[in-house]
Structure 1
């Protein structure tokens, strides 16, 4: 492979998703178009005295697990983050028309599959055993279920990946960052294809810290599907979630040679940090850096803000939503009715933490492929500060059927880190 090439075009050829409102591409696509919520009540959270007793967690049956893992692999296996990653990753690989039962190492293919924390339930089980002096009962897979690279390691073994195999971690920006790192690997001529994505565990040991921060809604325990309200005047905090999303990225040349499906092309990317300065902090973004990240992605794509048809924002249903919309407006230089469509998947899934960027990227690419903009549910009354910036029609509350040429996805994570990626629609003649 040519390690000096800068003219390599990178396309998306496979998608996989394990989301609170849909496991598998068909179920997920149907759910986001119909505005189906995957947020539900958990008795366990109630028993543990959580204020917010709801969350978004994928429902994975034993039968489905058996399609991806052997009985031996599932023995003493309780790392849901790895489970979600393997299902989403292998589904994306299969969707791209690639072999899920390799007989040799594929040195042209690798993975960047990120996580925020992994194997939390396994850690808890291990700590309890160690504290009780039962170290020999930890099991032979306790390390691989809890190491931060567990998701990418499992996927490498399942798919025979021989190129770069690694995991990244940048809080809520993890998934979008993983896509960008994988894209840059291919653009540099160092890989033909990369499986990119991210995953997140869920449950009380992941969500408890956020409940303690009092940034989760506490008055929707009896109506969980109404709790997550991005861009709404009545938004009262984000709902925690979990899951995994995966995309297969590869060179256009390889995709054409394989006659693979092409969902979209990656037109431009950007990563940066606000350095926790100028209003930025461990938990809040620096507006200057957010705007710079968006502008750099536009510059990388060699387009202007006027060419963006849709934004899939970070938009978590907190007080920062209006500030994020303002950042988009400044960076794109668009306001009022001239503003693009903007939506947030978190109304349906909750905030899937380190998995959010990849799950939302899958949703963004599906919108482009099928020509729709999914609705913002639970946003009957748009926040008045947002309406000062954009027209109400730019925040769709119902499904919009609309061809999209350019769509932009961004994630802004704890630690004041930002990731932005621009997808370009592919027509029947991808050249």
Structure 2
């Protein structure tokens, strides 16, 4: 079993003992690195359903690349894996029922028969794929639906909340969902809700030529998955209070915070602000409990860490130098939250307010010492501000995708999940 680690990274290394104060910190959840490429480490078997939108808007280049990428996916699996192929327009077709994937040729022949059609029964297509996975559900495997669509759900069930609720229900049973939006016409809110509820990957891709890279990245992520249904319970102690969680994470039924799946070689950062009364030395500030389901393990896994910090006077505390790496992490998380605010302003029709919000986020990051991460983030914000003036549909899609990076797995344009 691969054990993650929990680490507290406070912005300042102490708290005040003679006055109330706030404590900003980052909780880091880290997993060991993946084995070298040449290591013969076995991976968990995969039980997948690839669900492809074949509605009229997918005709031509989009569907051609979708078929090509699907053939690529089939060729990357082994006899220990299972794959089903489902396509949908206003009707659903199980192109290839779930079967072992050792021989890609039957899948390739089936994929080649997919032709574009009419409307977009997205929920019905996803459900048919989920049923294929459920019929072969294997607790020791990674069970996932990969949904690809370029449009809006306009046939059958279309209510975002109801669809997400069904996705979440299957996720509780061990069937996750990744949602891949293609082009400029897909429903980014629905795709984001499905990926979040399903504990999978969200991808917004502009070119169908990116699909093969996306599928390769998804397979690497699935192979490195060591924990799902991950939750983080934060309990403040002795009068301390959790004032804010910058990630805006979904809540579980137990009131804990839902994290993305744990993957090898990945760090998840959760930004936190605590409000403290005057603090007593050696007194515990908070405890954090990480819980997850490990593939092949019957019992839920847990890890608990406790936070204590030295106590100084408020005057001394004001003279301490903040940790620059922690300040950067908190600023990046805040920039994601600012994007969500800009989205709300854009949806109200106030693009100037959205531009001001993004400008303020840009200024906050520009005030930090430049690093590769902050420079990339500044470029992303500049790009979204430019799109607000020239293509607000694309601006909204980009803002939606980037705003979710601190709460679920999001595929980056360079082919990596972030």
Q: Classify the TM-score, shorter chain.
A: under 0.3
TM-score normalised to the size of structure 1?
Answer: 0.27
Of Structure 1 and Structure 2, the greater strand share is in 2
Relative contact order, higher structure (CA 8 A, sep 6+): 1
